[in-house]
Structure 1
Amino acid sequence: MIRARGLTKTFSRRKETVEAVKGIDVDVAEGELVAFLGPNGAGKSTTLRMLTSLLEPTAGEATVAGYDVVAHPAQVRARLGFIGQGNGGGFSYKVVDELHNQGRFYGLAPEVYKERAADLMAALELGGLEKRSVQSLSGGQRRRLDVALGLMNHPPLLFLDEPTTGLDPHSRANLWGHITAMRERYGMTVVLTTHYLDEADSMAERVVVIDHGEIIADAAPGVLKRRHADDSLTLVVATDDGAAVRAALPDDLGDAELTAHGTGLQVRVRTAQGAEELPVVIEALRVAGITTTSASARQASLDDVFLNLTGRSLREEAAA
C-alpha cells in the first residue's frame, strides 16, 4: 500500500539548509495498522505530508495506493482518507451538509454520497444529529464526524494524525471502537500518529520510530519492548542486610538497587523477562532465609523504548 525509498526533504532557512527527512525507506502492507512515533521536530509530520502528496520530496520516491506521489498526486488523494488533529467540519454548517459536500468534493453522484452519509452516521452513532450545526456537537461527536468525513470516499488507506488528542478516556475508547469497526468493515490500511503510547501499543501491528529525520526502529510493539527496554521487579524484603540480599539473587539478573524501606529493604531489578523471573527471585530469597513481604513486576512500555532510543519521553513531548 505504501512504498518509499530514499525519501528526503530539505528546507532552506535563511542561509542554512535543514534536512528534515534523511532518506527514509519504509513499506506498509495492505491491511496493516502502523503507528509512526517521533519527538517534535523529528521529521514524522514531514514524512506523512510527503506520503499524502501534500509536500513534494526533495529526493527519493514513494508510491501510495499504487500511484507515485509526485507524478499522480490527485490519484493518491482520491484513494486515501485523512483525519487530522483539528476538527474538519465547518462550525456553522449542518452535519449532513458537511458529509454531502465531502462526497461532492470526491465527485460522487448524489444518490451515492447521500447513501454513504446516512450509512456512516448510523455506524458512527451520529443518527439524529443530521440537522445540528457542527459547533453544537460534543467533542466526541465532532471527532466521530471527522471519521465519517475521512471515510466518505471509502478509502483503502486512512491516515490518522493524533485522532484522539483532547478527548477524555471514555471518548478515546469509544472513538477507537468505531475506527476499528470501520477498518474491519472496509478492509482499510491505517497509518497512525499519536502521543498516547497505549494506543500505539494496543492498536498497531507495527511501530515505526523516527528521530532526526531517520527511522531508528521498526517492529511490532512487543518486539521493540524486548529489544530496547527491560521489565522491572520491585520487592520488599524483611531484612536490612543488603549483602545477604545481593548474594541471594540469581547471578543472571541485572544489578539490584537497594533502598531502605521501613525495617527492611526495597529491591529493584531490571530484567528482560520480569513476569517469569519474579517467582525465581522470590524463591532464591526464600532459600537464603529472606522473607519477601511484597513483590511486583512491571512490563516494559513503549515509552521506555522511546526514552532509550531517543533520550526523550514521548509523554513529556506531548505535555510540552
Structure 2
Amino acid sequence: MSEFIPLHANSSESKPCQLHPQSMCPAFGALRVLTRIEGSHPVMATDTGCLYGLTFVTHFYGARKSILAPQLGTAELMAGKVVEGTLAAVDVAAREPGCQLIPVVSLCVAETAGLPEEMLPKQVGDAEVVLVRVPAYAIHSHPEAKDVALAALLRRLGDTKSPKQQKTVAILGEVFPADPLAIDGLLRRMGVEQTVTLPGRSIVDFRTAGHVGAVAPLHPFYKETSALFRSWNIPVVGGAPVGISGTYAWLKSIGQLLDLDPKLVNEVAEEERARAQSIVDSQPISGRIFVTGYEGPVIAYARMLVEEGAEKTYIS
C-alpha cells in the first residue's frame, strides 16, 4: 500500500523558525576601500553570482569605476582556467587610463580562494598588482574585510625605507567626511605637522604610512593593520577621540608617543575635555539606546552615550 506524505506538518508539532542575523558578503567592505582609491582598477576572481551581487551593491554605494573580472562559469572553473582568466583581466585593467594599482580580489569560491600569488605579476606597466584574499568563511564582517584589504595594500605600498616623519600621524578607520579635517586641525594645535587618513583615496597616503611617527586606529577592528605597523616599529595609539575622558586620554597619548611639547599638549587636551563636558552638561541624555551599525565605530559611540547618561543595553 502506498504511503501519502502530508504537504503540511502538524501545527502542534511545528517549531518556531530560528533566524540568525545575516549581512551581505563581507568582501563588500574590501571593495568599498579598493574602488575609492584614485588610479585603482580592481579585478575580482570569483564566480558569476558573487561578481553580480558585489558589483551591484558596490555601485549602489557610489563606486564610479568598473570592477573587471574574467568570465568564470561552471565550464571555466571545471577546466581550471582561473589563473589564465585572472591574468587576462589584469592585462585589461592595466590598459585603463591612469591605472596605478590593480587589486586582485579573491573570494571564497573553492576554485578561486586558493589563487596562487606567485603566479600573478608584481607589476604590469606602471600598475602595482596586489592580491587581496577576502574569503567569507574566514572574515565575518565588513570592518574585518577592510582591515584585510588595507593590510594587503600597505604591505606592498608602504614606504618603510624613507626617513621617519616623527610628527606625522596616520588616522586609521572610516569616519564621517568632515571628521578627518577636524582631527587634523586639533592635532596641529598640539604640534603635529601632518595627518594621513586611511583608508583614503590617494596612493601617496599608503606610501607615506610606512614612515609616520604613530598610527591611531579609530576602530577596534583593524588588528592585522595595527600588527603590521607594530612590525615596522611604528607605535599604535589606543582609544579614540570620542567622549570626555576618551578624547583627553587620546590626545595625551599622541603627545607622548610623538614627543610633543607636554605643556602645549596638556593645554589642548584640557580645552577639549572642558569643551566636551560643557556639551554633555547642556544636552543630557536619558533612556535606553540600542547602538547598531556595520562600519566599526559603534563601540566608541556607545561609550560616548554612556558618558552622556544613556542606558546602553545592546551593541552590534
Note whether the superposition's TM-score is higher than 0.5. no
The normalised TM-score by structure 2 is 0.23
The normalised TM-score by structure 1 is 0.23
Name the larger-Rg structure. 1
Higher helix content, 1 or 2: 2
Higher strand content, 1 or 2: 1
